[in-house]
Amino acid sequence: MRDDWKKHLLNIGAEFEGDRLRDYGNAERERSMAVNGDVICDLSHRGLLEVRGKDAQAFLQAQLGNDVREVSDTRSQLSSYCNPKGRAYAVFRVFHDRDVYLLEMNPEPVEPVRKRLTMFVMRAEVVIENAEDSRIRFGLSGPSAAQQLEENLGAFPAGIDEVVKRKDLSIVRVPGMVHPRFEIAGEIDACSALWNDLNVHSAPVGPEGWRLLDILAGIPAIYPETSESFVPQMVNLHALDGISFNKGCYPGQEVVARMHYLGKLKRRMYRLAIEGQERPPPGSPVYRAGGDPGQPDGEIVDAALHPDELYAALAVMQVASADQPLRWGAPDGPEAHVIPLPYTMPGSA
């Protein structure tokens, strides 16, 4: 995290563990506010890759699972980077800003993805760098989030994935569960000024608040424990406009296309509410109650504590098992309940 932005956050009550922002002194209240109220959240914990150069668009078009040609100064997209077997190394949001492409994801995959992408640059005029400190980034969510942006900036993105640029800031609308949700990026002065204006009506929350909102919105993240585990459709990217099925070749394209056109999706991502005192880690198993301990019916994608004291989780499950009583960790472990996602699943894989 940049020192100038860290100082700004410390001045408004942020509490840190080393260089990592933890919360603002009341994690329980922040969870409740994240779900029910208007909140702002620093996004410095999110990883960021910058891809620039004359051949950047063509290079990414040949590597990523969505159509990069649709990304512009007014539109972002979810996408993925897969191995040749169609299994995702990472899921991320792609932006275009200042003649560069930005890939925002959770921090763990950043360096592995950068190294692997660099292997295929060859003679292309492309530079790929870690850019986590190149821009200040924070999120805004809540019932009056759109109104607050309208009042302070004169505009806000009306549709999911749309981008609006105002006052040296880029604002993108991202999926939410109920309330509008936005991510904002720019230089320190512009971000500090807008943060201060929004802080009048919105409560600051730590990174766990934004993680919870991602889970409630059904947005997947890939961690080291689940790297190369899921075809993009298994984490519902086809329901989130995160896959292009007509863009041409990229690593894993044949597997992804075959599943779409010929296959039946036997595993997909569900939202779960899990009882118990321990956060379910990524990659941990989910079972049918009383099932075979050696045959999990699913695995956790991500989880965060909800204000109701259950864990909100995303899990890739066998579709045939999802309507059965479920347990996390063991066939007789804590109960897990399927909760509807806030988007519609396409009829085909």
Residue 255's H or E segment, with its range, is helix 253-261
The string of pLDDT tens digits covering residues 277-310 is: 999 999 999 999 999 999 999 999 999 999 999 9
Helices 207-216 and 27-36, axial angle in degrees (round to 10): 40
Cα radius of gyration rounded to whole Å, the chain: 20
Return d(Cα 212, Cα 310) in angstroms, integer. 12
Apex CA 157: angle with CA 154 and CA 158, to 5°?
110
pLDDT value of position 348: 47
Please state which CATH number belongs to domain 224-339. Answer: 2.40.30.160
**CB of 211 closer than 8 Å to CB of 181:** no
Domain 1-222 classification at class level: alpha beta
Listed residue (296, 266, 291, 265) closest to 280, CA to CA: 296
Residue 256's H or E segment, with its range, is helix 253-261
pLDDT value of position 347: 67
pLDDT value of position 145: 98
Listed residue (153, 162, 163) closest to 98, CA to CA: 163
Apex CA 317: angle with CA 229 and CA 103, to 5°?
45
- Residue ranges of the chain assigned to CATH 2.40.30.160: 224-339
252 phi-psi bin (left φ>0, alpha ψ -120 to 50, beta other): left
pLDDT value of position 18: 86
**Whether this model's pTM surpasses 0.75:** yes
Return d(Cα 210, Cα 160) in angstroms, integer. 17
- Residue stretches of the chain with pLDDT short of 50: 348-349
- Residue ranges of the chain assigned to CATH 3.30.1360.120: 1-222
pLDDT value of position 1: 87
Dihedrals φ, ψ of 214, to 5°?
A: -60, -45
